[in-house]
Structure 1
Amino acid sequence: MENEAAPLPRVCVVVYILKEKSVLLGRRLSSIGHSTFALPGGHLEFGETFEECAAREVKEETGLDIEKIELLTVTNNLFLDQPKPSHYVTVFVRALLSDPQQLPQNLEPTKCDGWDWYEWGKLPNPLFWPLEKQVQSGFNPFPFD
């Protein structure tokens, strides 16, 4: 019997920050999904709500303050073809900028190549796999009003 424990699923919260008909995306520099475009977000910390995690991660990565954070959906993502296979339960939320005049900053340049706004119907390629899967399914983060 091996002494190594089986890997455990992790919880990640990612944020669709909505600005007019655009969302904020950054190009990943991490081992999983390297050079793909992804939403800001990160690991849920012990005791945090999804909303607290979303606000903290967005602030740490982009310097932006967000509000009106709403739960959208949850996905189950297995990355089995990676050097270190992983399993993520990904919580997707949407939010608005507290001040629409804020500009995103790249505060984690070793993890992201920069942030920019992309119109929902004209997203860049390649998208990070969980995001691409959502887009291909017809998912739309914008409210219907």
Structure 2
Amino acid sequence: MNDQDAAAPVPRVSVVVFLLKGRSVLLGRRRSSVGNSTYALPGGHLEFGESFEECAIREVKEETGLEIRKTEFIMVTNNVMLNEPKPCHYVTVLMRAEPADPEEEPKNMEPNKCDGWEWFEWGNLPKPLFGPLEKWVNEGFKPFPPT
């Protein structure tokens, strides 16, 4: 391998969670080089050997302090973000879940990465949304289970 190969960016795998309470979804305002100051779902990088469900449970707990239940796979998307200060490529696994205790409020467990967590009605989401989330919303995606 030469030096150019070592520096070449590679796709990463992330798992994000549509944490639902009624018709509301949990979003946090990002503090990072990618999507800074945009509202995004809880989630993060898939670790070696981890299932999508295990990653969803771990990331929600690490970021919000909440336990989740009814975790289920929704879909996978391919997100190439070239207009970020640090261009990146993510294969993103979308999961859906509910809080184990609907009365428990989320805590900001990683204040260096997020300004805080809030529940937002799906029809009244804050702006600006994180790029991939904004794309899904604009395409008419809805995270709710079929009724």
Question: Which bracket does the TM-score occupy, shorter chain normalised?
Answer: over 0.9
Q: 1:109 aligns with which of 99, 111, 119?
A: 111
C-alpha contact 2:40 2:133 (8 A) present in aligned 1: yes
How far off its partner does 1:144 sit?
Answer: 2.4
Q: Deviations over 1:28-85 (max 9, x none)?
A: 0001000000000000000000000000000000000001111111111112123332
Provide the aligned C-alpha RMSD in A: 1.2
The aligned counterpart of 1:14 is: 16
CA contact (8 A) 2:27 2:120 kept: yes
Structure 2 residue runs without a partner (length 5+): none
Residues 66-75 or 1-10, more deviating: 1-10
TM-score between both structures, scaled by the size of structure 1:
0.96
* Distance of 2:25 and 2:53 partners within structure 1: 18
Quote how far apart the aligned CAs of 1:2 are: 5.4
User: 1:1-145 maps to which residues of 2 (within 5 A)?
Assistant: 3-4=3-4, 5=6, 6-145=8-147
How many residues align? The count is 145
Distance 2:38 2:2 in 1: 35
Aligned residues with identical type, % of pairs = 67
SS of the equivalent of 1:132 reads helix
| In 1: Cα distance, 2:104 partner to 2:58 partner | 16
Give the TM-score normalised by the residue count of structure 2: 0.95
Letter in 2 for 1:3: D
* Amino acid of the structure 1 residue aligned with 2:61: K
Partner deviation per Cα, 1:4-26 (whole Å, 9 max, x = no partner)? 32211100000000101100000
**In 1, distance between residues paired with 2:9 and 2:137?**
28
CA–CA separation in structure 2 for the residues paired with 1:28 and 1:49? 25
The residue type paired with residue 65 of structure 1 is E
**Can you give the 5+ residue segments of structure 1 that lack an aligned partner in the other structure?**
none
